[in-house]
Amino acid sequence: MAKTLRSSDAYQDWTFCQIQYNFLDEETPADTDGLRYAASRKLGIVVMEPLRGGKLAVPNAGISAIWNAALTKRSAAEWALDWVWNHPEVSLLLSGMSTLAQVQQNLGAAGMSEAGMLAPGDLDLIARVRDAYNALIRVPYTACSHCMPCPQGVNIPGMFQLVNEGPMFGDRDMQRKRYGRMRGEGSSADSCIHCGACEEKCPQYISIRGQWADVAEQFG
């Protein structure tokens, strides 16, 4: 993000930018350096996906145990939202809400939040949760998409997202439905003919074709 903003410095009429930012996406797709650089250019910063599409609000049992060990009691959603509000550069936070209770909870959290509110112990706790989530990642891809386009139309980053988010967030039924939609579109791993074109382009040297057995086991 910082590189993109610097390349656009000649354009002076920006008033704000919008980025995805949460404690799991601290480095991608935006990053903290980019956040701070945007603020240095006097831009308002609107944060979307502070709860990763709601996934961070419904942690698995292992993650819940870490949150519950905190001396300060907050819900998982409040911890995630407060992590974003803790950054003084953030102007506005966008969080999807589907019930009145969620609206009230988010308003309550925002009303008590401020930049710099989290103590070092709080940040250490969030780092432990981040590490626990990251330990569940099966494929260390960065969504760079250098492997794309696939000659057969396989959505390789989409497949890896399903493989990782299944154990991280546990919503296997939703993941299977997404896989079914991708299969209907011809973009699932079922369309792979193992040509290897993707692996030749992968800067991380991931054995992409070797991952499809795991995809079939989880979602096939």
CATH superfamily of 2-134: NADP-dependent oxidoreductase domain (3.20.20.100)
Instruction: With beta carbons less than 8 A apart as the criterion, state whether 148 and 157 touch.
Output: yes
The pTM for the full model equals 0.79
- DSSP strand E in 5-131: where? 16-20, 44-48, 92-93
Per-residue model confidence (pLDDT) at position 95: 85
Instruction: With beta carbons less than 8 A apart as the criterion, state whether 129 and 23 touch.
Output: yes
- CA 152, CA 96: separation in Å to the nearest integer? 35
Per-residue model confidence (pLDDT) at position 105: 82
Q: What is the pLDDT of residues 119-134, one digit of tens each?
A: 999 999 999 999 999 9
Q: What is the CA radius of gyration of the chain?
A: 19
Per-residue model confidence (pLDDT) at position 2: 46
Q: ω into residue 59 within 30 of 0, thus cis?
A: no
Per-residue model confidence (pLDDT) at position 6: 54
Strand order in the sheet with 44-48: 16-20, 44-48, 92-93
Low-confidence ranges of the chain (pLDDT < 70): 1-12, 29, 220
The residue to which tokens 């399903």 are assigned: 162
